[in-house]
């Protein structure tokens, strides 16, 4: 194993209570034993029983974000084994980020969501530490509200809400004007089409309304390409936040906030190593310097050459798939800054090839060599899509052959009739749901028509529409929960008996629960109901 490989993987070795530097570790271990400890056949993940995945989806956190730049790895290695005072480090990095990005100031945070949280805390507290340590109890605070346009509500605004603020949603400039008041701490928006120039609630429109009231605007540009200076500050934003593990290709556990120095100094005060509500968002000195190195590298990267390489990889895959009769391909090139990468779309009629894009995506996702791709169904046409910006050299050939092998297989149409339902599940069911360390009581109201079911699913807090099917005794049902800033899908699968359904609940990113549903006996004595003819004579 080469020296650099050892350096990159030494973090996997537990060394309790040790203050040894990497160099001393190298000197004190036999090279061969280190190699055996760190990896199984050269793959440190497989040594843990974890499969690696070819990433054809992009910079999704659940896949590991982006591949760190070589400059980032070098900066992390250079930072390790030395100690600094963190406020002094943040000051040095802030000055350097201001120079590179042509902004007032910059801070490195533990991801973009942490940047949103710290900036919100800064706007709520104004840098007053007595207020800071009271978060999320905002009783007695002057600034307790954050305005968010409805189009900017998303699952990541939990980071804003974690501070304890009240969210005020607006749908128009007029509503925004009315919503601003002395309690308004800031306005939060995401970038994208609804915030673009010319839209009713564009950043420019919001800034024009907010500036006279001295209300800061936090712009969430997590997955965007970095612009120097940031275009969103020029458009009227006060602070812009980026993810380190997306287009910038810095550390996955780092983020970046650029803009007004006074707010960012208060945001740094609200983050680790300082105690308070941001202590849980710790960013290491190695990641701080790695993030700075990623920003430095952005100014020297050959972005045109990267784009051409991505197109070349997509061409390898498209050329192979077009050899299959019935498949057409198209590469789309987005014009905006968000998730900016070309995408290959391979389309076909599922009635011709007898397989859907979703089935292809599931096949390659679950079986080695595992590949993450997207899929879509629209207007009777199915498709898969390939995003190349996190693919590695050699991946394109593997992906092309794997997809060709699946899609070129001769399949017969599935004309098999559904097996008749073995039981009628119509009725009211009491459902015990078992999570990792708690249980909840839900309810089903089911109306069954042959193999198909519909009805209601009562959760702890909501009533959801329920759809389902049953073949023999095999049951599958689904309900979906959506409110601004949150969504949750329940996907039930199990076995049904006359008065009992048992199985599991796939909860997407929230993993899996189990359930047991028992039919409720609603039989009761049939008694006439008498309606009085007038007011009661006694109460």
**Tokens linked to 75:** 């900066």
pTM: 0.87
190-241 confidence digits (pLDDT tens): 999 999 999 999 999 999 999 999 999 999 999 999 999 999 999 999 999 9
Q: What is the pLDDT of residue 42?
A: 58
CATH number attached to the domain at 427-519: 2.40.128.120
Mean pLDDT value of segment 465-487: 95
DSSP string, 258-291: EE-HHHHHHHHHTSTTSSSTTTTS---HHHHHHH
pLDDT tens profile 358-390:
999 999 999 999 999 999 999 999 999 999 999
Tokens of residue 118, six digits: 């710290």
The pLDDT-based confidence of 538 (bands split at 50, 70, 90) is confident
Write the DSSP assignment of 229-261 as a string of letters. S-HHHHTT-SEEEEETTTTT---TT-EEEEE-H
For residue 38, CA distances in Å to 30, 44, 61, 244, 327 come to: 12, 6, 24, 26, 43
Extents of the domains making up the chain: 3-50, 70-298, 303-407, 427-519
Structural Rg of the chain based on CA atoms: 28
pLDDT at position 179, please?
98
Q: How far apart are CA 108 and CA 248, in angstroms?
A: 13
Confidence of residue 414 (pLDDT cuts 50, 70, 90): confident
Query: What pLDDT is stored for residue 16 in this prediction?
Result: 35
The answer regarding whether domain 303-407 maps to CATH 2.60.40.10 reads: no
pLDDT at 496: 97
CATH no., domain 70-298: 3.40.640.10
Q: Residue 421 in contact with residue 471, Cβ under 8 Å?
A: yes
pLDDT at 287 over 90: yes
Interval 61-90: pLDDT, tens: 999 999 999 999 999 999 998 999 999 999
């Amino acid at each position: 194993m080469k020296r650099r490989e050892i350096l990159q993987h030494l973090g996997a070795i537990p060394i309790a209570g040790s203050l040894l530097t990497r160099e001393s570790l190298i000197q004190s271990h036999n090279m061969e034993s280190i190699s055996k400890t760190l990896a199984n056949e050269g793959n440190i993940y497989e040594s843990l029983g974890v499969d690696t995945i070819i990433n054809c989806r992009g910079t999704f956190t659940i896949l590991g974000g982006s591949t760190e730049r070589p400059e980032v790895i070098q900066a992390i290695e250079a930072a390790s084994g030395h100690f600094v005072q963190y406020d002094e480090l943040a000051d040095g990095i802030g000055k350097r980020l201001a120079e590179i990005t042509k902004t007032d100031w910059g801070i490195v945070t533990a991801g973009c969501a942490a940047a949103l949280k710290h900036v919100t805390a800064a706007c709520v507290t104004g840098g007053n530490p007595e207020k800071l340590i009271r978060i999320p109890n905002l009783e007695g605070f002057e600034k307790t509200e954050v305005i968010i346009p409805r189009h900017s509500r998303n699952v990541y605004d939990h980071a804003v809400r974690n501070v304890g603020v009240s969210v005020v949603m607006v749908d128009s400039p007029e509503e925004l004007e009315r919503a601003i008041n002395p309690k308004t701490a800031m306005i939060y928006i995401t970038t994208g089409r609804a915030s673009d120039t010319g839209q009713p609630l564009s950043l420019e429109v919001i800034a024009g309304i907010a500036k006279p009231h001295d209300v800061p605007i936090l712009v969430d540009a997590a997955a965007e390409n970095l612009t120097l200076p940031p275009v969103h500050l020029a458009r009227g934003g006060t602070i812009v936040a980026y993810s380190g593990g997306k287009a910038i290709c810095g550390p996955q556990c780092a983020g970046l906030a650029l803009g007004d120095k006074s707010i960012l100094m208060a945001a740094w005060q609200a983050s680790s190593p300082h105690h308070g509500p941001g202590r849980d968002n710790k960013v290491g000195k190695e990641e701080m310097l790695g993030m700075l190195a990623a920003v430095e590298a952005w100014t020297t990267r050959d972005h045109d050459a990267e784009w051409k390489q991505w197109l070349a990889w997509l061409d390898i895959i498209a050329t192979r798939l077009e050899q299959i009769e019935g498949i057409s391909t198209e590469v789309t090139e987005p014009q905006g800054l968000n998730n900016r990468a070309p995408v290959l779309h391979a389309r076909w009629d599922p009635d011709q090839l007898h397989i859907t894009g979703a089935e292809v995506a599931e096949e390659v996702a679950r079986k080695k060599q595992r590949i993450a791709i997207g899929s879509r169904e629209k207007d009777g046409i199915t498709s898969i899509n390939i995003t190349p910006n996190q693919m590695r050299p050699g991946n394109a050939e593997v992906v092309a052959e794997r997809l060709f092998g699946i899609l070129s297989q001769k399949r017969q149409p599935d004309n098999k009739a559904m097996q008749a339902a073995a039981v009628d599940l119509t009725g009211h069911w009491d459902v015990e749901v078992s999570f990792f360390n708690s249980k909840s009581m839900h309810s089903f109201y089911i109306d069954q028509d042959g193999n198909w079911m519909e009805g209601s699913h009562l959760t702890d807090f909501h009533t959801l529409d329920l759809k389902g099917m049953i073949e023999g005794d095999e049951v599958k049902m689904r309900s979906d929960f959506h409110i601004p800033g949150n969504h949750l899908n329940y996907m039930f699968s199990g076995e049904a008996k006359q008065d009992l359904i048992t199985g599991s609940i796939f909860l997407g990113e929230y993993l899996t629960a189990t359930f047991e549903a028992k039919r409720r006996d609603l039989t009761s004595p049939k008694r006439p109901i008498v309606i009085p003819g007038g007011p009661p004579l006694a109460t």
